[in-house]
Amino acid sequence: MSLLDKLNWRYATKKFDATKKLSDEQLHTLLDAVQLAPSSAGLQAYRVIVVSDPHVKEQLREAARGQQQLTTASHILVFAAETGLDSAYVKNYIDRIAQTRGVDRATLALFETNISNNISKMEDEARITWNKKQCYIALGVLVTVAAEHGIDTCAMEGFDAAKFDEILGLKALGLTTAVIAPVGFRAEDDGLSKAVKVRRPKEELFIHI
């Protein structure tokens, strides 16, 4: 099966088979993919909470309009944006580049200044929105790599972010929930698994100039 075939195979899973759990290897493949996702300036100003605790899943389900994906999935990945992205965060990032690539930190000074200046010009809300956008890119990579490995997902934003933040204690970590993805394996009786994809026709979706 090509990757395109696998993207056709995947669908937003409404009901997972609660008896099927991801192996450690499968989970780590997904986490590797999320880690490798691109982000603006490479900042990755988000963290991802990996929920497997049934009690926490139950609480999250209540804060997500009771959607059953949250309790039937093997794991829930909660993408949470950093709320306090500042020059100290950028400094750490630049230190990491210098160390990882073994380059003189001084050669990165302009890059650091540019990023810090851009960030300081943003209002708090705009900065958090920017970080949330990066979460969606990581989500897209997750969904794609999961499909490649025959793992089901459901991207979801139908939840109460403030309640998620409270349940997961995210405020104290300087984080706020952006988007979530239950992951696992589809239930046999999930009706939508066989539904034909509905997409805008190419002539409507694409504008060739």
Window contacting ligand FMN (CB under 6 A); options: 10-18, 44-52, 88-96, 116-124: 10-18
Locate tokens 């499909």: which residue?
A: 147
Task: For the CB of residue 11, give the shortest distance to ligand FMN in the complex, in Å.
Answer: 3
Closest CB 163 distance from ligand FMN, rounded Å: 14
Applying CB under 6 A, among 1, 157, 162, 171 the residue interacting with ligand FMN is 157
- Interface residue with ligand FMN, options 38, 54, 158, 169 (CB under 6 A): 158
Regarding 11 and contact with ligand FMN (CB under 6 A), the answer is yes
Nearest distance in Å: CB 159, ligand FMN = 7
| Closer CB to ligand FMN, 139 or 175, in the complex | 139
